[in-house]
Structure 1
Amino acid sequence: MEEIAAELNDRPDPVETYMRLDRWPSPPDDAGGGEIFLVGFVIVNVVGLRHYQGTISSHELVGLVREDTNPFDGNAIRVMNMRSVQVGHIERSAAAVLSPLIDAGLITVEGIVPKPPGKKYAFRIPCQVHIFSRMEDIDRVKSAINVSMLHLISEANPSFTLSEAVAVKEKKGVPAEKSVDEIFKLLEAKVSMEGVSEELDPPQDIIKSKLFPYQKEGLGWLVSRENSTELPPFWVEKNGFYVNELTNYQTGVRPEPLRGGIFADDMGLGKTLTLLSLIAFDKWIHTGHQSCNGDVKNNDEEEESIALFGRKRKRKRGSQKTKSEDLNNTQDAGKRPALDELSSSEPKTTLIVCPPSVLSTWITQLEQHTRKGSLKAYMYYGERTKDANELQRYDIVLTTYSTLGSDETIFRSPINKIEWRRVILDEAHVIKNVEAKQSQAVLALNAKRRWAVTGTPVQNSSCDLYSLVAFLKFEPLSLKKFWDSLIERPLVRGDEKGISRLQVLIAAISLRRMKDKGLIGLPSKTIETLFVDLNEEERRVYDQMEVQARDIVESYVSNEGVVRNYYTVLSVLVRLRQICNDLSLCPAEIRDLLPPSQIEDVKNNPSLLKKLLAMLQDDEGFDCPICISPPTDIVITCCAHIFCRSCILKTLKRSKPCCPMCRHQLSESDLFQAPPDSSQTAPVEASSLKSSSKVATLLKLLSAAKAKNPSSKSVIFSQFRKMLILLEEPLKQAGFKVIRLDGTMNAKRRANVIKEFCVPAPDGPTILLASLKASNAGVNLTAASTVYLMEPWWNPAVEEQAMDRVHRIGQKEDVKVVRLIARNTIEERIMQLQEKKKLLARKAFSRYGQKDKREISRDDLSMLMNL
């Protein structure tokens, strides 16, 4: 029992994580943060070496991690080597000075050990701790350190040249044995020599579909990486030891090859089929090149390939089994990559993690592309087994990110007991916030091979890529301190070295091909931006609201209050965006609820708070700032911040309960829930909705398209679920057959909606009202040929994913995308923000760079509000 308790205590507590400013989710932290600068360094001792197993080398970078739950010292700072193994602690006296500054979000720290351990340093090792801070906090930081016993060595000090930091050496012109950029250039040269992968055919007795040439090439790349025997990037062998050139870490044990990577082909290029081919090829090789159908039962009934929720259904045997064909007939054995022999003790099962909306896609693809019984899959979702041995009987186990996140709190989940042959993260950008609960659960998985699969690897910033690198266990960049030091910090400074390093890194571990290269000859896709003029009433309300909102945001920006009021600011922006769609989305009493003049009185008006929550939770862009996941059982505080009920209640159990966002003192009585959602049954006043400028424009476009081709199908996307509900009645009155797909539906219901939408007109519906987030991933909507986007989204990658549900393999007609933008409103400025993010995504995969931008920075807010 003591071992169980110890293991449970070691699990990260999301509330513990996010109660400190320096560990807040990225948007709030960066919105009020900005560029950081080197203040100087202090020399301290690493102590407690004999109590820990971690080893350390001369000139090695080390990770410094706050450990405020340490029972012996609340100021403790752990010292970790690049393998995430603890070496010791920063000495207590130094930690007492640095930890309060770290906890207050005033500094970040990096460590480097200048001298090699030896007899002289048997119990302690000197360590240079480099201190970074925002410009406005430097004087405060210097003052706090100078009154302590620590000696801060700043740039003005002659001893500053003794710093072992690469950045300092480069600045002072001190030659290093090999600079960081020289190390990256060596990797770049190696990658450029690898050339194009050989095309591979999947085994025909498992995969019955024919692959395009680019898919065969992709399969060759996947197989070659999975069976690599090379040292991982940045590792070299020297005098019988293995050295990581970026950190100077040394070990006598050969590091494992990096078997996996980022499969980043553009959306709609058939990544799922290529991955199924990888699983099939691997199984075929390691079953002695024999038919994988040989174990199918020879009786009147056979098991289905997929076990749903642990219950296997029986199906009558259909037509005669397809004769297996030896892959040697279609593939030159001499070109086949070297493969590891799979021993009987090695794992054989692949774990596939995806959003709920993508589960049905994997099931459909399995049934469509594989021969019955050749690959057996289990759906670990909903009602599911607790037996790890049961899961290992299958070739594939399908699950969702949210399932892993909930299982992570259960001691010894069967998923965590297994060493998987490979883990595939589909729509891997879901884990872009590495601190989120489901991301932590994914990072903890034990696997031989790891694949991050996404058509949009960069959505907001380079930090999106960090989570994928962390999942791949790509040392040392999988450790946040090293990523920040070597990649993120140069990017934030606008240093060309940062983008160059990022490009080399991506080239070394990823494969990305684009549809615009003519790989599959898809029909064309055109995107039209249609500017809509607001009517007189809409313009009056919008202008009035924007003037008030501009004053609020300007006040927060000038007073450095964006961090504290981040979600309040976003709620103001949401209201402006809703007015652009339809006034009924943002009622008058909600529009009047504007901080800061009236926010103090909100706690005395719970009914208004509940209405505000009902309006805000309709926007699919909000996450709980504690667990960084879509909130469940949502509550709003008296200070107008939104959380999962369970997350905020856990926070309130602390000795000084307060709001994690603004530090306002809270109690359970200060939490409010929205009234039950009656939008499903409430009648809609179609006449009032038709007065909306955007809706009137949409109806004209749809009617014109219907007159031209009555059987054509369209998808209308919005991120506001209430907007979709309000659209139903006027569309039906106009003679359209309509169905809806939104985030409230479970995976089975979504699959049924998509199946219904594929029924040809006139029997089937011609319009699908689709939630942007519920339909932007893993959903095939090629039955439609026209897409309407009711409003722009902060993140252009989300829009692109939604468009490519229609423009993908299987589409036979030209695709037209129409973006409806309210003229002279915040929507036009959101489009400008999108262009910045698109540029970053392109440059991460090209040879040119720019300063990195986070989701919504302080400058972005100023631009959005015309400040």
Structure 2
Amino acid sequence: MEDEDPVKLYMNLDNWQGPPTEPDEFRPSSEDYQSLSSSSDTRLLGFVIADIVGIQWYLGTISGQEMVVLVREPLNFQDSNAIKVFNTTTVQVGHIERRVAAALAPLIDSSLIAVEGIVLNTRAEANGPKITCQVNIFARFEDFISVKWAISQSGLHLVLKEKKAERAGKTVDKIFKLVDENANKNGVLKALEPPAEVIKTELFVHQKEGLRWLVHRERSDELPPFWEEKGGSFVNALTHFSTHKRPEPLRGGIFADEMGLGKTLTLLSLIAFDKYGSGIVDVSMLDDNEMGEDKGLSSSVGKKGKRGRPSEKSTGLRKQHKTENTIVEGKCVSANDKSSHDISRTTLIVCPSSVLSTWQTHLEEHTRLNWCKYYGLRTKDAEELKKYDIVLTTYGVLSSEYPSKRSPVDQIEWWRVILDEAQMIKNENAQQSEAVTKLKAKRRWAVTGTPIQNGSFDLFSLMAFLRFEPFSIKSSWQSLVQRPLADGNPKGLSRLQVLMATISLRRTKDKVRIGLPSKTVDICYVELSAEERELYDEMEGEAKSVVRNYTSADSVLRKYSTVLSIILQLRQICTDSALCPSGLKSLHIEDVTKNPELLKKMLEVLQDGEDLDCPICIDPPIDVVITCCAHIFCRACILKSFVRTKHRRCPLCRGPVSESELYSAPQTPSESDNMVSSKTTLSSKGSSLLNLLVASRDQNPLTKSVVFSQFPKMLIYLEEHLKAVGFKTLRLDSSMGADRRARVIRDFRVTGQDVPTILLASLRASGMGINLTAASRVYLLDPWWNPAVEEQAMDRVHRIGQKEDVKIVRLIARNSIEERILELQEKKKKFENESLGRRTAKGRRDINFDDLQVLIPL
């Protein structure tokens, strides 16, 4: 069974927000953490009892019955098998005793086991210089026998605790069930009007209700979820960590309204209160009963009325906080903050480059806020950025500057950081995820209409950004949420529900009355021509003969790029045979490995589609390279893996590879480029699309349409044919910069006679954030692996601002791989609904062995 992350680049523990008074030498480093496994495919094998020793030398304390984090320390000069022990505030407590560490360290280093610790009842004060700890051991099921044998040979007593549990169905709706219940209880979502001095547009009722919730989250002094006060101390109900210091409130959260409900304007209204907030009720002073904070949740986590909300004593503290709030220049400022003259009131908004124009349009049309873009040619002066209400930037910009300490973005403690399309950080190991998580801010918001894509593990990266302990610590997330979910333990789901109910807001279109026009989705089946059918059948026959040789999942992994190129060519023939270069059979028959010319040709073929992801960062590859073993990565990602793993091996197949064996595709235009630009006849699918567009124009010449495809060359080809029959067109693809994309979207919104009525859009470039409500017709020229990406594309048109009924048409080649992709989409939807506890290895567009058998049946 494959590791979840091919390179095992785990979350940097600098993201753990431990006590600021602790010196750095007491905090774990990223290198320390690399040996810990985060795979949700591991199961509890059993446990051993060990002592935590050396506690007199460290500052960390433990109260008893408390979770602890175990971290390998291979560079310990006294013991290379050392395993450090940290409490849940990331302060070191001690080490696991040598005898147990000697047995477990080799198994941890070889990725056979992962370990977690729970301190038993005895308190440290009563147990001298050591504390008794239960070390839980997790392993993959197929490794159980070998791990048991290794532990028995070491002389340790392994207490077996094998448990077979049924996987419970966990849909997104189930996870967010309590969000709805909590939001609607006692009328929590009352409307709040934005400051008219700043916001020029009337908000919908649900936007005003969302605004009130956002303001409340930022100004409430309530205890974070799962905390309660006991006898003057504050105790975390999950980890049992106890402290005399009141935990800081979590100012921010997850704004997860479904796509198309107007989150952007709601967030701008929140920012408007920074300028004109004195005229509203300070919602931190509202009664808990009115706000409905944690009512109905306590039964899921423990004693009624305790957890997640203050007791009478802490309420007294809250009242004291409230009396110390003052109004400075029309803003509500806490006395606990810095002097008002030193506070930056600037909000940093981070978004994909494709969404930059949407924010810019909203700012210009709906607000009187002053703002700037930190993009392209940009200032190096942090003080200059502080002059604005809003600074707009992109994930790409922050990633390119990370980890430079000279970046002005990193020098500022922002008043608020908003991550738009926050699913962009679903891979917590990607450089852009690390860059945004490191940002300093008083308030943090993760904004996404798709908070869960691969599975519940996607939420962990959001917890890391929000810095909400213990869930921002990977091992804690695994033990408290991920493994219980995977094992069907109801505690995992109930914890996740309570967490989401407290820190997130999610409304869907079917539950919000905003008067959206209807949306219909039809399938238009296309018969291939005789010539196309002959070519398709020939290629599919070859594909079947190649796939027969891949008798296992391991062989598919080794020949993954070859498999992708076969599938890509079948899909290209379905759309237009001109996209499929001739003379490529050698790529399937010959062994391309160690053959630079064939490898470059394969990479060129694969780049013709948009469904490539780097298996390390799980994002579209940048400066893409193919290895001598025919696996594809971002150049920077694989070079970074060489450094981090201290050897030159392919992160996927572990085969040896050197930097000189990383090949790039040719930069010169290929034969297929010339064929597409010079071909004069339409394919069967192209002809069907043209007929549909002409019929729509005959019905209403002003109707605007968006045509989505994942083959940019096909868009170029269609452009010429559409112009030939009198259509005015625009094109939007991933090769365009942010400014050019903004111009295209702006031009498409222009109405009237003699204006562009068709937008030819790359699915990847147009699937997130942009507003295409000028159109009322959508044509999906080819099916996408991930149905959620298609839904995102549809929601660019079917969203707030749409005045017409929306019609979606999916064009599918009959008796082809495209019909089986639809079948695979349904399978993925069912999998996602039933198995949110799992996380796929390399992203949602990956093809596994079972998928391959569906796509190319033998």
What TM-score, normalized by structure 2, do the two folds share? 0.81
Q: Across the two proteins, how many residue pairs are aligned to each other?
A: 770
Segments of structure 1 that go 5 or more residues without pairing to the other structure are 1-5, 24-28, 157-166, 172-183, 290-332
Does the alignment pair 1:264 with 2:256?
Answer: yes
**Structure 2 CA distance for aligned equivalents of residues 71 and 549 of structure 1:** 55
Deviation at 1:643, TM superposition (A): 1.9
Shift in Å, 1:495: 5.0
Pick from 42, 47, 50: which aligns with 1:41?
A: 47
Provide the secondary structure at the position in 1 that maps to 2:449: coil
- Answer with 237-246 or 454-463: which moved more: 454-463
Question: Taking structure 1 as reference, are residues 541 and 527 closer, same or farther at Cα in structure 2, changes over 3 Å only?
Answer: same
Aligned residue among 157, 164, 171 for 1:151: 157
Select 1:202's aligned residue among 194, 197, 216. Answer: 194
Report the alpha carbon displacement of residue 609 of structure 1 after superposing the two structures with TM.
1.5
1:352 aligns with 2:344: no
Change (3 A) 1:858 1:611: closer
- Match of residue 430 from structure 2: 436
Aligned with 1:676 (options 667, 684, 709): 667
Q: Tell me how far apart the structure 1 counterparts of residues 521 and 179 of structure 2 sit (CA, whole Å).
A: 39
Deviations 1:582-640 (A, max 9, x none): 3333324435423xx633x4323x22221211121233332323344432222111211
Change in Cα spacing, 1:123 to 1:864, as seen in structure 2 (3 Å) is farther
- Counterpart of 1:106? 112
Rounded Cα–Cα distance in structure 2 between residues aligned with 1:71 and 1:585: 59
Give 1:367's aligned amino acid. E
Closer, same or farther in 2 for the Cα pair 1:188/1:575, shift >3 Å? same
Q: C-alpha displacement at 1:39, in angstroms?
A: 1.4
Q: Counterpart in 2 of 1:160? A: none
2:467 pairs with one of 463, 470, 473: 473
- 2:63 pairs with one of 52, 57, 60: 57
Stretch moving more, 344-353 or 534-543: 534-543
- The yes-or-no answer on 1:366 pairing with 2:363 is yes
Change in 2 beyond 3 A, CA 1:745/1:537: same
Q: Do the aligned partners of residues 129 and 860 (structure 1) sit closer, same or farther apart at CA in structure 2, a change above 3 Å counting?
A: farther
In structure 1, how many angstroms separate the alpha carbons of the residues matched to 2:547 and 2:233? Answer: 56
Q: Does 1:132 align with 2:143?
A: no
Does residue 1:532 correspond to 2:526, yes or no?
A: yes
What does residue 483 of structure 1 align with? 477
Partner Cα separation in structure 2 for residue 551 and residue 683 of structure 1: 31
Match of 1:644 among 634, 657, 672: 634
Give the aligned partner of residue 695 of structure 2.
704
**Residue in 1 that maps onto 2:231:** 239
Q: Does 1:227 align with 2:227?
A: no
Distance in 1 (CA, whole Å) between partners of 2:772 and 2:414 is 32
Q: Which of 590, 608, 612 pairs up with 1:618?
A: 608
Structure 1 partner of 2:599: 609
Alignment partners' CA distance in 1, 2:514 and 2:178? 34
Structure 1 pair 269/489, CA: closer, same or farther in 2 (3 Å)?
Answer: same
Quote the offset at 1:100 in angstroms: 3.6
Please state if 1:254 is matched with 2:246: yes
Match of residue 586 from structure 1: 580
Taking a change above 3 Å as real, the CA distance of residues 352 and 685 of structure 1, as seen in their structure-2 partners, is closer
Which position in structure 2 is the counterpart of 1:295? Answer: none
Q: Specify the code of the residue in structure 1 equivalent to 2:778.
A: V
2:269 to 277, 282, 287: 277
Separation (CA, whole Å) in 1 of partners of 2:440 and 2:614: 28
Per-residue deviation at 1:354? Answer: 0.5
Q: Residues 655, 458 of structure 1: CA spacing in aligned structure 2 closer, same or farther, 3 A cutoff?
A: closer
Q: Distance in 2 between matches of 1:632 and 1:585?
A: 23
**1 CA distance for matches of 2:423 and 2:793?**
15
Partner of residue 746, structure 2: 755
Cα separation, partners in 2 of 1:133 and 1:682, compared to 1, 3 Å = closer
Residues 831, 76 of structure 1: alpha-carbon distance in 2 compared, 3 angstrom cutoff: farther
Alpha-carbon distance in structure 2 between the residues aligned to 1:554 and 1:17: 41
- Structure 2: distance between partners of 1:268 and 1:354: 16
Query: What is the distance in 1 between the residues matched to 2:382 and 2:128?
Result: 44
Whether 1:743 aligns to 2:743 is no
Q: How does 1:64-83 map to 2 (within 5 A)?
A: 64-67=70-73, 75-83=81-89
8 A contact 1:499–1:849 mirrored in 2: no
Amino acid at match of 2:702: S
Equivalent pair of 1:568/1:641 in contact (CA under 8 Å): no
* Aligned residues: CA RMSD: 3.7
Identity over aligned pairs, percent: 57
Deviation per residue, 1:319-342 (Å, 9 max, x gap): xxxxxxxxxxxxxx9xx9998567
Q: Deviations over 1:331-380 (max 9, x none)?
A: xx9xx999856751444121111011111211111111113xxx222322
Conserved in 1, the CA contact under 8 Å of 2:33 and 2:72? no
1:211 aligns with 2:217: no
Residue 455 of structure 1 pairs with residue 449 of structure 2: yes
Letter in 2 for 1:775: S
AA at the equivalent of 1:144: A
Query: What corresponds to 2:379 in structure 1?
Result: 385
Instruction: Say which of 756, 770, 788 aligns to 1:765.
Output: 756
1 CA distance for matches of 2:42 and 2:617?
26
Q: Which residue of 2 aligns with 1:142?
A: 148
> Structure 2 CA distance, aligned partners of 1:551 and 1:136?
31
Change (3 A) 1:423 1:657: same
Deviations, residues 827-850 of structure 1 (Å, cap 9, x unaligned)? 333333433554577x6xxxx987
Residue number among 770, 778, 792 corresponding to 1:787 in the alignment: 778
The amino acid across from 2:231 in the alignment is: N
CA 1:246–1:651 in structure 2 vs 1: closer, same or farther (change >3 Å)?
closer
- Comparing 236-245 with 669-678, greater Cα deviation is found at 669-678
SS at the partner of 2:396?
Answer: helix
1:833-848 equivalences in 2 (<5 Å) = 833-838=824-829
Match of 2:404 in 1: 410
1-structure distance, mates of 2:199, 2:686: 46
1:538-589 per-residue CA deviation (whole Å, 9 max, x = no partner) reads 4444445445555666765735455555555545443443333233333244
CA distance in 2, matches of 1:193, 1:711: 46
Asked if the contact 1:781–1:805 (Cα under 8 Å) also holds between the matched residues in 2, the reply is: yes
Q: Is the 8 A contact 1:269 1:515 kept in 2?
A: yes
Aligned partners of 1:578 and 1:540: how far apart in 2? 14
1:506-559 Cα shifts (integer Å, max 9, x gaps) = 222221222233522122211112222333444444445445555666765735
Whether the 8 Å contact between 1:421 and 1:447 is mirrored in structure 2 is yes
d(CA) in 1 for partners of 2:413, 2:719: 48
Structure 2 counterpart SS, 1:282: coil
CA distance in 2, matches of 1:189, 1:828: 39
Partner of 1:26: none
CA distance in 1, matches of 2:590, 2:276: 68
Q: Note if contact 1:494-1:852 (Cα within 8 Å) is conserved in structure 2.
A: no
Cα distance in 2, alignment partners of residues 71 and 365 from structure 1: 58
> Contact 2:194–2:269 (CA<8 Å) still a contact in 1?
yes
Q: CA deviation at 1:192?
A: 7.1
CA-CA distance at 1:207 after TM superposition: 1.0
Do 2:36 and 2:115's aligned partners in 1 also have CA atoms closer than 8 Å?
no
1:221-250 residue CA offsets vs partner (Å, 9 max, x unmatched): 111111111111111111111111111111
Query: Do the aligned residues in 2 keep the contact of 1:575 with 1:591 (CA within 8 Å)?
Result: no
Q: CA deviation at 1:406?
A: 2.0
Q: Would you say the 8 A contact 1:554–1:862 is kept in 2?
A: no
8 A contact 2:179–2:500 mirrored in 1? no
The alignment partner of 1:101 has SS state of helix
- Judging changes above 3 Å, is the alpha-carbon distance between structure 1 residues 96 and 630 closer, same or farther for their aligned structure 2 residues? farther
